[in-house]
Amino acid sequence: MRIIWQDKKLSFGGKTDTAQIPGDLLGQLYKDFTASMLESIFPDADAVIYGEGYGAGIQKGGGDYCPSKAFIAFDVCVITPPTDLVAGVTAPEGKWWLSYENVCDVAGKLKIPVVPFIGEMTLEDATEFVHAGFKSRCAVNPNKMAEGLVGRISRSGLLSLVCISIFKTTERD
């Protein structure tokens, strides 16, 4: 799911532009997020907050994660407008993928949870980790087994990225 802040307007989207968000979850999102909240965090830029809807009524056993419908964040992309560097020279629009710490900062300001950090590992190790099973670190039920991991490919040393690879692996993968 996406919380989209573009041209000073708030909207919500699914994983793709054609994905449908269930009406009751969409209603909850409009209760939980306002344009003024996003304006206060991103006054001079557009942004997309990536995450998932979760909780009771969203997936089987969702009440073990959260008793109500909610949004949990896992990434934030900030889109900066073109900038005049010097007369006649303009820097193009930029996409900035925030570090995990900065994603947590944005989520804290919005009073929403963030997918917990598990560690750094290869894709193969992550797949093995999920297949072995582990307890969820974001469920209200301490015995709830996690469905999978959300991960990002590390690109150390880069502060600004045009594109970043995101993957999700689940026990079914």
Nearest to 70 by CA among 170, 3, 169: 3
Domains of the chain: 2-170 (3.30.470.30)
49-89, pLDDT tens digit by residue?
999 887 767 776 666 677 677 888 999 999 987 666 666 66
The separation between the first and the last C-alpha atoms of the chain, rounded to the nearest angstrom, is: 20
110-169, pLDDT tens digit by residue?
999 998 888 777 777 888 888 888 888 777 778 878 777 887 766 543 333 233 344 455
Q: What is the pTM of this model?
A: 0.78
pLDDT of 33:
94
